Structure 1
Amino acid sequence: MAISTSTLILFVIIYLTATFYVAYLGYRKNSQTEGYMLAGRGVHPAVMALSYGAAFISTSAIIGFGGVAASLGMGLLWLVFMNIFFGIFIAFVIFGPRTRRMGLNLGAITYPEFIGKRFQSKFIQAFSGLLIGVFMPLYAASVIIGAGRFLETTLGVNYNIALIIFTIIIASYVIKGGLLSVMYVDAMQAVLMLLGMGFLMVFTYVKLGGVVEAHQALTSMANLVPQALIDRGHQGWTSMPASGSPLWWTMISTIILGVGIGVLAQPQLAVRFMTVKDDRSLKRAVAVGGPFILMMAGVAYVVGALSNVYFYRTTGMISLQVVPDGNTDLIMPTFLNQAMPEMFVALFMLSLLAAAMSTAAAQFHTMGTAIGYDVYQQSLMKGKSSATVHVTRLGIAFTILVAVVLAYILPGSIIARATAMFMGLCTSAFLPMFVGALFWKRTTKAGATASLVIGSLSSLFWLTFVHASEAVPLGICQATFGKATLLSGTWTVVDPILIATPLSILTLVAVSLMTPQFSPAFLNKAFRLRFEDEEEEVPEPASHKTIDSTGV
């Protein structure tokens, strides 16, 4: 379905004008380092919640996981529950207040610095920053791939050109404006995303004859599941895969647990807890963040699964058979272009661009601060360089370039896989240490360091040598040991999160119990948590320039 060029150009001009204006408003409020990197610690709760949600839900959810839902079915709705329960409620109510207060007490302005100062370790800060800088580009690449694929399918624009244009637009305001600009633009884009997804849900059900008829039709199509998927445990698009089957392990361990719990350890999300002025702001943000995730992820997964009904009625084929080579990354763009009205396709293209831009902007800012600030300035230069913002901007530019290169070379159907890989790595590497930092005073520097290293290395080892989805295409195990994976059978479908995270937890507890804990004075400083209704003065954040070698 062709889109009017003049109409599309008008929409794009209006959208980009609004984007750059909102980014400029954020840029004007920046105040040197803290304003550029932490938005000034005074962001409105609704802006924080929308920015958090928009940074979390992107084209990887709408395009990538929507396509996975078209393949595996509505079992992905369990991921929506996990996203809301862990990603919003647990994150905002339990993790958020302590992260905000502890970050303020220690004067931290990035996630790696927060962890590094909590455990008085430059190594932890540098290692965490390096982990983010090296592996987050894979996640960022999956996001810009989603945007590129939609532009390619919708407008007929060359995929390579689409990637370049999209990336240049984001880079222009992320590099210049800092986190506050990113969060303001995120909030604006989140509203656009909500409008687009709301219309998509209503129109899909109308197109398929109503809610009940659409779901009944999908249930009755179980006999159309390809034999290859049946052999792996598929039981229809409205049923979970057979318990213990390869698809069941993929659904439960990689998707539902890996992405559902992994959100708690996402650096680009956790740092947003430190941008609000008080604990009440975080709790109020739940009322905005929860419904946003429900509308964004829930609608994407339901519509993705229901696309099978539409394609079967119009072409006699299921979704996987309609797209070239069964590329799940192309299912949602194809459905939108064929099923939706011309005007809506143009508007929804802007919604998807907003989703991709918001997440990519958050990723670029996080990667840039990790490389420029945490690794280069604080670790290599030992805090002696004063050009914090300049170095961070260079770091952002470098990591953007890496992400674009990866977007060109990664294979098809990679969006959901790359997202799950990065979130699983963050869960194993960061989550046990993060929980220990916030809730267990007995966690020691040695325990946190060992947990970070063991969690990272064991996750990467399992990805490279055991988990078939990554080990087979990488080919490193085949080249090294002469076989595709070191283990066989069920082990090859067990996600690294179920192996590496328990190892990381056990390491943190065991090593911490065997090594000296921090002094009471430092722990009192870090854990000084006040109730906002006590109306006590909030302490001025410690300047990162005055931290001594002990980190106090």
Structure 2
Amino acid sequence: MIGIVFLSIFFALMIGIGIWGMRKTKTLGDFFLGGRNMGPWVSAVAYGTSYFSAVLFIGFAGTQGWQFGLNALWIALGNAVIGALGAWLILARRTRRMTQNLDTMTMPEFLQKRYGASHLKPIAATVIFFFLLPYSASVFKGLGHLFETVFGISYDLALILMIAFTGVYLILGGYFAVAVTDFIQGMIMFFGAIAMVAVLFGKGGGFTAVIEGIRENYPLHIPESQRPSILTIGSLVFMTSFGTWGLPQMAQKFYAIRNERVIPKAAVVTTIFAAVIGFSAYLVGISSHVFFTLETIPRDASGQILYDLIVPTLLTEHLPEALMALIMLLVLSASMSTLSSLVLVSSSAVAIDLIPIQIDEKTGKDRSVALMRFLSAVFIVISYLISRFQFSFIVTLMSLSWGAVSGAFAAPYIYGLFWKKCTKPAAYAGLISGLITEIILFFALGPAQSPLAASLAIIIPFGVVPAVSMFTKPPEQPLLDRAFEGL
């Protein structure tokens, strides 16, 4: 009952923000970037909430916590230092300046204008559409199963509720509503994560006692032959940390900041936020070695461990009802913020990158905002259908999505920001080599080695791009002068 009351208040607040955001959204720039007027706190928390979704709390924390033990904390450290602090300090200023110089709003637009490559935009937009949309469906899927487990409501009803409320505030208010709701959701995530660890570790006898229990029980639960190698741990840290640098929904946060003066403060806020969320999630997952035995760990009928149920079962068994309701809001917030960013970027791939801006000849109004709203609604419905029916082809795309998108964009995007000699053919080669590498290695190595496949898909284009640039025509000077003005 407490959870239902919390959810009702939460959803009412989200709808109110959506209506407020609608009044501030007049142009396509308003809808997609909030008018490039986001302050440091809102921008920082929006970055963090897009970074961490229910996949972290439900899937990653349970899976890596049980399999990796204390080594899972390296992932949290990498996410905070590389994925958050490094991204803001290295990419934010140049991304903000260059996208403004080139008058671009999306990653495909940036790549097209930075390299003078007319066909690069539709190719990049297609990659975003085919791989980020299934990724958004995976977020819905994890959230639906959590609500089914904790509240006892059906998976179908949980999906419909999540889609309806996410759709309302996103479609009405665009990026402004997303950013403001992200800030509120981020505060829920921040304090909920701290409370979750404090109460759970308190029941385990205190922080020191739980850590000692993990050290003692991990060798008993995971035989040495089944423990992850340094390569596996390193590739997962790299994929989830540096891999975010090439994701369009993360780079979008840099486009939207008010000015470059907000970057240092935003970098600090994002890093603290990422550290609290990441370490809290993995500490809970790792503590499963204290609260479960090999006999009591959740399993299916065949005896296989149900990793996605480790954290939900752990929390429902050991947290009081009021705190569990807050944790549900935490996971819901993480999912809705990630989902809204994914849908916004996916819809922009069509509304901005594939369809020319629509101006009404009679009124002179930009009809692209209406198109963005319509496509956001369509993509949310598609995400629901994917989550509901779990088409096998789409499930494969979900597993490929992170490595495919980051592998395709990271090298062309980062070289484009820093290296004037990077050429148009090199940008094409970088995008295509990253995408193909991910697809080939994913099937060659198998899903169990997907972090390694994704890491190699991100790394290889960083060698391909300079190699191709050495033997192809350099960019025209006027293009470079415009792109690098003030840098």
Q: What is the TM-score normalised by the length of structure 1?
A: 0.82
**Cα separation, partners in 2 of 1:77 and 1:70, compared to 1, 3 Å:** closer
**Cα separation, partners in 2 of 1:498 and 1:184, compared to 1, 3 Å:** closer
Residue 446 of structure 1: how far off its partner (Å) = 1.1
User: Are the equivalent residues in 2 in contact too, given 1:84–1:290 (CA < 8 A)?
Assistant: yes
2:225 aligned to which of 217, 231, 235 = 231
Q: Give the unaligned 5+ runs of structure 1.
A: 235-240, 380-384, 471-491, 531-552
The Cα offsets for residues 303-330 of structure 1, whole Å up to 9 and x where unpaired, read as: 1110231123xx9534568998422112
Residue 221 of structure 1: how far off its partner (Å) = 0.9
Amino acid at match of 1:497: A
Alpha-carbon distance in structure 2 between the residues aligned to 1:460 and 1:192 = 37
Alpha-carbon distance in structure 1 between the residues aligned to 2:66 and 2:310 = 9
Residue 390 of structure 1: how far off its partner (Å) = 2.4
Q: Name the structure 1 match of 2:367.
A: 387
Residue 208 of structure 1: how far off its partner (Å) = 0.2
Q: Name the structure 2 match of 1:521.
A: 478
2:108 aligned to which of 88, 108, 112 = 112
User: Are the equivalent residues in 2 in contact too, given 1:311–1:322 (CA < 8 A)?
Assistant: no
**Cα separation, partners in 2 of 1:91 and 1:494, compared to 1, 3 Å:** closer
Q: Name the structure 2 match of 1:506.
A: 463
**Is residue 439 from structure 1 mapped to residue 418 from structure 2 by the alignment?**
yes
Q: Name the structure 1 match of 2:90.
A: 94
**Cα separation, partners in 2 of 1:223 and 1:321, compared to 1, 3 Å:** farther
DSSP 3-state at the match of 1:496: helix
Amino acid at match of 1:252: G
Alpha-carbon distance in structure 1 between the residues aligned to 2:111 and 2:435 = 15
Q: Name the structure 2 match of 1:65.
A: 60
Amino acid at match of 2:233: M
Amino acid at match of 1:356: S
Residue 503 of structure 1: how far off its partner (Å) = 3.2
User: Are the equivalent residues in 2 in contact too, given 1:22–1:181 (CA < 8 A)?
Assistant: yes
Residue 211 of structure 1: how far off its partner (Å) = 0.9
Alpha-carbon distance in structure 2 between the residues aligned to 1:93 and 1:420 = 30
Count of aligned positions: 479
User: Are the equivalent residues in 1 in contact too, given 2:411–2:462 (CA < 8 A)?
Assistant: yes
Alignment of structure 1 residues 12-161 onto 2, 5 Å: 12-72=7-67, 73-161=69-157
DSSP 3-state at the match of 1:377: coil
User: Are the equivalent residues in 2 in contact too, given 1:170–1:361 (CA < 8 A)?
Assistant: yes
Alpha-carbon distance in structure 2 between the residues aligned to 1:303 and 1:282 = 31
**Cα separation, partners in 2 of 1:274 and 1:169, compared to 1, 3 Å:** same
Residue 85 of structure 1: how far off its partner (Å) = 1.8
**Is residue 452 from structure 1 mapped to residue 431 from structure 2 by the alignment?**
yes
Alpha-carbon distance in structure 1 between the residues aligned to 2:357 and 2:462 = 27
**Cα separation, partners in 2 of 1:361 and 1:502, compared to 1, 3 Å:** closer
Residue 156 of structure 1: how far off its partner (Å) = 0.5
Q: Name the structure 1 match of 2:361.
A: none
User: Are the equivalent residues in 2 in contact too, given 1:76–1:256 (CA < 8 A)?
Assistant: no
Q: Name the structure 2 match of 1:482.
A: none
Q: Give the unaligned 5+ runs of structure 2.
A: 359-364
Alpha-carbon distance in structure 1 between the residues aligned to 2:357 and 2:336 = 29
DSSP 3-state at the match of 2:470: helix
Alignment of structure 1 residues 152-171 onto 2, 5 Å: 152-171=148-167
**Cα separation, partners in 2 of 1:173 and 1:328, compared to 1, 3 Å:** same
**Cα separation, partners in 2 of 1:322 and 1:293, compared to 1, 3 Å:** farther
2:196 aligned to which of 200, 204, 207 = 200
Residue 410 of structure 1: how far off its partner (Å) = 4.4
Alignment of structure 1 residues 346-495 onto 2, 5 Å: 346-377=325-356, 387-410=367-390, 421-464=400-443, 466-469=444-447, 495=452
Alpha-carbon distance in structure 2 between the residues aligned to 1:468 and 1:267 = 26
Q: What is the TM-score normalised by the length of structure 2?
A: 0.92
The Cα offsets for residues 339-396 of structure 1, whole Å up to 9 and x where unpaired, read as: 11011111211121111111111111111111222123379xxxxx953222222332
Alpha-carbon distance in structure 1 between the residues aligned to 2:303 and 2:91 = 43
Residue 493 of structure 1: how far off its partner (Å) = 7.0
Residue 50 of structure 1: how far off its partner (Å) = 0.5
Question: What is the aligned-residue RMSD (CA, Å)?
Answer: 2.6
The Cα offsets for residues 231-264 of structure 1, whole Å up to 9 and x where unpaired, read as: 33x2xxxxxx3x4xxxx443322x2111111111
**Is residue 282 from structure 1 mapped to residue 238 from structure 2 by the alignment?**
no
Alpha-carbon distance in structure 2 between the residues aligned to 1:11 and 1:357 = 16
Q: Name the structure 2 match of 1:539.
A: none
User: Are the equivalent residues in 2 in contact too, given 1:59–1:147 (CA < 8 A)?
Assistant: yes
Alpha-carbon distance in structure 2 between the residues aligned to 1:322 and 1:302 = 28
Amino acid at match of 2:234: I
User: Are the equivalent residues in 2 in contact too, given 1:194–1:295 (CA < 8 A)?
Assistant: yes
Residue 401 of structure 1: how far off its partner (Å) = 2.7
